[in-house]
Chains A and B, each alone.
Chain A
């Protein structure tokens, strides 16, 4: 794990003194004060974080750094910056999860997706475009409104967001737009997994002359049309995205996926 910047010794000392002092008091408002350093406690010490926290989590957001219970996994380096696999797993000990928000510090577009697991397990896997080496964050909002943030660092030689995808480059995207393939799997004893691919060029808007064009909303529904989980996805998600959604039990009466892109094209498919 690469540290973006080593804290100065004086700062480190000051923080230790503060932490000790606050630890003794154990007050409920500790988090707001604990970030006496300029990185607000970010273990990866990214200068981008405080601004991201304000923009995406809220000015008064309460943040707990928790790599143990919010596990973000990625490769050490991005061999294919157009398709960087990320998986997020939230420990059941955190209780019910309202939202999993995935953010990337050094991407020109930082918000990758927002997942509301509802009836599903708080886990998601997908691939995204990475512009340069960067921390990848999963911010998990629990019922009490608190954010629990886990991170991973993915190194890269760069260039994922500003290059056209394969189907955009060869023009074949229009023939397959919105087509869906997917299947239920049993990767482990305790989970049923839906893996689904939706054909979409997922244009970031950062390639000259090609406006942003991306899947913006996907809803997973059971056989009775009850919503199981909801996903808002944004420009950085990879072309023809493959998502993995986990459930404790196989959904009743099969699964439907419905949704649309930012141009209003609809997706509706029965998966199982």
Chain B
């Protein structure tokens, strides 16, 4: 079993355990309130530990192969390209941030100026018609717009 495949259930177990522990000790929830989280949390933690402890051995052939791990690395590289939209929108706001992000994303990915600007204009027109005109949703201005 590779590291990521072990680390993931370990993190899940830690996440659930932390909340259960806080619920029992720091927040001292009533028995009625904490009962269900305990009922679902404890078996999940045990199953996670089973996965971590190597109950699932390499021999069953279900563990991710090195090629899968490479693919996961590429996936997360692409994921961070997408996550970049969050800080851009936080700074420029939702409408302007979308324009900046789309143009930069498409240009850095090797698309032509014509395609980058044309696609961005098309998307912004769609956003304007659907979200602003039809649904009348106020779009946040971002840090620069305040």
> Do A and B actually bind?
no
Interface residues of B (CB under 8 A from A): none
Interface residues of A (CB under 8 A from B): none
